[in-house]
Amino acid sequence: MARTDENRRDRPDERLDSPKGMRTRVLPTRRRNGRGDAFGRATEGIARAMGTPWFLVGLTLFCVVWMAWNILTPKALQFDSAAIGFTALTLVLSLQASYAAPLILLAQNRQDDRDRVQFEQDRQRAERNLADTEYLAREVVALRLAMRDMASKDFIRAELRSLLEELDRRDAIDDGDPERTADLRG
């Protein structure tokens, strides 16, 4: 029974001019709206900024300025008391930490998703490279087999010499020259 063109399109790995086992897979993509992606990029930016030495220097300077203001300024301008352990500063730092942890986790999840996609693409690339390598190996073997069937230069020369000798013998016999015929036979 003859195959139809539709069946051939469904099975691309049966073509003779492509490596064996080539498959095309399309990864499912998540649908993202622009707002969710912007939020993800923002969380990554914040998490990336929090992981820098400049953030630590800035946070340290912020705390030093806060404490210096509340210790050195007159009581009327102070907004956080050193006597009770800078309660407002503690609350501000706790609030910052409570937001920092989820933002870092969100950024880490996005990085995990990117790593997973990159791993899948690397695996597919390695699979294609393996299929291409197998295809090329089969082609090299086919060429080697074809080269074995080809006549070598020495073989062709030997065949031509034997044909020339055969023609010389026939000419000698046809000419009726007994000496030349004996030389060629002997």
Are 55 and 61 contacting, i.e. CB atoms less than 8 angstroms apart? no
Kindly report the number of other CB atoms within 10 A of residue 42's CB atom: 13
Q: Could you please report the per-residue DSSP string of 84-120?
A: TT-HHHHHHHHHHHHHHHHHHHHHHHHHHHHHHHHHH
Write the CB contacts of 40 (distance below 8 Å, at least 6 apart in sequence).
106, 107, 110
Could you report the per-residue pLDDT of 120-174, keeping only the tens digit for each?
999 999 999 999 999 999 999 888 888 877 777 888 889 899 999 999 888 888 7
Could you report the per-residue pLDDT of 64-99, keeping only the tens digit for each?
999 999 999 999 999 998 888 899 999 999 999 999
Q: Could you please report the per-residue DSSP string of 118-164?
A: HHHHHHHHHHHHHHHHHHHHHHHHHHHHHHHHSPPHHHHHHHHHHHH
Q: Say how far apart CA 62 and CA 85 lie, in whole Å.
A: 16
Residue 29 reports pLDDT greater than 90: no
Mean per-residue pLDDT over the chain, rounded: 81
Instruction: Tell whether pTM > 0.75.
Output: no
Could you report the per-residue pLDDT of 35-72, keeping only the tens digit for each?
668 888 888 888 888 888 999 999 999 999 999 999 99
